[in-house]
Amino acid sequence: LAAALLVTMADTPELMDEDEPFFSNLDIFLFSLIAGLLVYWLIFLPQNRSCIGKNIVVFYGSQTGTAEEFSNRLSKDAHRYGMKGMSADPEEYDMSELSRLPEIENSLAIFCMATYGEGDPTDNSQDFYDWLQEGDADFTGVKYTVFALGNKTYEHYNAMGKYVDKRLAELGAQRIFDLGMGDDDGNLEEDFVSWREQFWPAVCEHFGVEATGEESSIRQYELKVHSDLNMNKIYTGEVGRLKSFENQKPPFDSKNPFLAPVSVNRKLNKAGDRHLMHLELDITGSKIRYESGDHVAVYPINDSVIVSRIGEVLGVDLDTVISLNNLDEESNKKHPFPCPSTYRTALTHYLDITNPPRTNVLYELAQYATEPKEQENMRKMASSSPEGKALYQSWVLDSCRNILAILEDLPSLRPPIDHLCELLPRLQARYYSIASSSKVHPNSIHICAVVVEYETKTGRVNKGVATNWLKSKMPTDNGHKATVPMYIRKSQFRLPFKSTNPVIMVGPGTGIAPFMGFVQERGWLKEQGKEVGETVLYYGCRHKNEDFLYQEELEEFEKTGVLTALNVAFSRDQAEKVYVQHLLKKSKEAVWRLVHTDNAHIYICGDARNMARDVQNAFYEIAEELGGLSRAQAVDYIKKLMTKGRYSQDVWS
């Protein structure tokens, strides 16, 4: 109101004359007042959207995009049953509004919840998780179901999905279908499809509705081709704000990554057929802060050869400027990726074109196969029949066929490129354990990674998107500085608060990464005159003369006493394979003393499926033998260490 009066007075000086009526220029006053209220609403009021108005609301907790993908599929399914469905990010909604859902006839809330790290919520569901823990909402009358996404090789399998399922019931909500359990160590797609095929008949029975019989493809977006758009209004790879790569503004996060110049890119291994690399990203002036144990997320780009080949096979001009606009005007998701853009930009920066496509993509594309047998096989692979599942497993997954390989091997399949772009999932950021300490390298983030490259059963060579892209990022490229879009993801993988606590680190291969940061930090603490507990490392590689990563640095740390003990397993330098778990058992007395008597913290980094499990079993055996415990007691002993934060894992599958 004050601003409106000031503007009015500035524009009409006669208002200051006491002989004039105060609101002689009422239009200016009202316009200023409305503008002021609008600015206030935009800046100060919470931007929580409403999800009320739909029958089916599918919330997703997603870190790598899979839960979001499943959420989109379920919301599209709803239309086949005459319902209105929408996919929703809990971060963007006032979740207390769920209590109003029963006001809508035949309403249902579905939760596709992924578990991240050590049983943690994903970034976008953290606030929802905190609210569920603290809140006392009354969800009486709210009908819900949960599909959980996780990996059985992890200690806290599907913890987030289980928690949401249990907590909603405690708050009075009614579960109308059993919790679905998706295991990414097996076949996550198959788990989801099997659950979904039982879920929808249960929904129909519960609400007394029937499928419309509409099984053909339902488009979610419509294509708009731009012929005369200003080039400054077209996205060229930015994740969020247009031109954010040209005009960088902190704070930097997943929607606003920092373009970090590459200052170092060197090969770590001395020989062998693999390429292991060490990169250093310069974060000077970015205001980015990190701690040892955090992850750096990088946004890679796809191989231009694959992108061009897709355009060639489909016979399209990839430089056509397009937008894909959501047909549901009420949806908060206006486009599947930043638009307007070109097909080339979408396939290069925004879409996942290298992973084997999921069954729903095959199902929707099948209509475009003009050869009956090819169409039949695509539909079969998308079905839940044992024969179809086996065909999908062998022809797509086991053969590592990406979308280009499928188009090349099915000559009659030539879908419209806009529908293909609608169906392909988003290209996700890749996470790497930071291999440096901010105490020693405040303006630099180090990455240690192995370049992924392998031959498939079809004779094609598949390359890891991020690692091959990073490999090409040399500090100077024709006089220009090579940059990497990145941001920091905080982790619970932390050195003990007390520097006097001993640490036992187990990390074979590139699992050494966070421990380089840990050791650097312990060395820095020593230099500051702090008392530092024993620092013990168990590291493993194939051959001492080939892939002993950071050998010189580690041996120097041992020489100066920063590393109390450097135990290295060279698995292939002798007839019998030797791994880190063997070295742990070999020094079991020292290990048990550190853990049981000296309150050591244990850290494991690397492969979840084999190494982490084998190392955990080694600790069970040491506890049994030297602690005089039964296997059940030993398991309980280690689980208590985990609960206390003294046994931490940073593992991947």
Strand partners, 537: 505, 566
Measured N-to-C along each axis, helices 613-627 and 631-643 cross at an angle, to the nearest 10 degrees, of 120
SS3 151: coil
Q: Is 632 annotated as a binding residue?
A: no
154 marked as part of a ligand binding site: yes
Please tell me whether 577 is known to bind a ligand. yes
| Degrees to nearest 5, angle at CA 256 with 253 and 259 | 95
Confirm or deny that 448 is annotated as ligand binding. yes
What tokens does 328 get?
């549901």
146 labelled ligand-binding: no
Question: What's the 3-state SS for 412-426?
Answer: CECCCHHHHHHHCCE
Residue 63 annotated in ligand binding: yes
Interatomic CA distance for residues 651 and 653, integer angstroms: 7
Rounded CA-CA distance 428/445 in Å is 20
- How many beta carbons lie within 10 A of that of residue 457, not counting itself? 11
Q: Is 466 annotated as a binding residue?
A: yes
Environment class of residue 466 by beta-carbon count within 10 Å: exposed (0-12), middle (13-18) or buried (19+)? buried
Is 465 known as a binding-site position? yes
Is 579 one of the annotated binding-site residues? yes
450 is in an annotated binding site: yes
Q: Is 185 annotated as a binding residue?
A: no
Catalytic residues: 433, 605, 650, 652
Token pair 């050998």 is at which residue?
Answer: 551
Retrieve residue 454's tokens. 């392998």
135's enclosing H/E stretch is none
Tokens 């370049």: give the residue.
451
The answer to the question of whether 155 is labelled as a binding residue is: yes
- Strands 321-326, 341-342: parallel, antiparallel or unpaired by DSSP? antiparallel
Q: Is 62 annotated as a binding residue?
A: yes
Q: Phi and psi (nearest 5°) for 62?
A: -130, 135
The reply to whether 393 sits in an annotated binding site is: no
Cβ atoms of 377 and 388 within 8 Å: the answer is: no
What DSSP string runs through 446-512? Answer: EEEEE--EEE-TTSPEEE-HHHHHHHT--SEETTEEPEEEEEEE--S----SSTTS-EEEE--GGGG
Q: Report whether 612 belongs to an annotated binding site.
A: no
Cβ–Cβ contacts within 10 Å for residue 588, how many?
16
Burial of 25: CB neighbours in 10 Å, binned 0-12, 13-18, 19+: middle
Q: What is the CA angle 502-503-504, rounded to 5?
A: 130
Is 151 marked within a binding site? yes
Q: Which of 25, 190, 171, 168 is nearest to 110 (CA)?
A: 168
Backbone φ, ψ for residue 122 (5° rounding): -70, 165
Cβ atoms of 434 and 295 within 8 Å: the answer is yes
Distance CA 123, CA 376 (A): 40
Q: Strands 221-226 and 321-326: what pairing?
A: antiparallel
State yes or no: 85 annotated in a binding site.
Answer: no
Distance CA 452, CA 402 (A): 15
Name the DSSP letter for residue 361: H
Q: Is 117 annotated as a binding residue?
A: yes
DSSP state, residue 307: H
Query: Residue 572, annotated ligand binder?
Result: yes
**Nearest CA among 416, 105, 189, 445 for reference residue 294:** 445
User: Does the annotation flag 580 for ligand binding?
Assistant: yes
Residue 538, marked binder: no
Specify the pairing of strand 143-150 against strand 108-116.
Answer: parallel
Task: Please confirm whether the linkage preceding 251 is cis (ω < 30° from 0).
Answer: yes
- Is 39 strand, coil or helix? helix
CB 112 within 8 Å of CB 70: yes
Which residues are annotated binding-site positions for NADP(+)?
A: 274, 510, 571-572, 577-581, 614
Residues tagged in the binding site annotation: 62-67, 114-117, 149-158, 184, 274, 430-433, 448-450, 454, 464-467, 510, 571-572, 577-581, 614, 652
Q: Residues within the annotated binding site for FMN?
A: 62-67, 114-117, 149-158, 184
Residue list for the binding site for FAD:
430-433, 448-450, 454, 464-467, 652
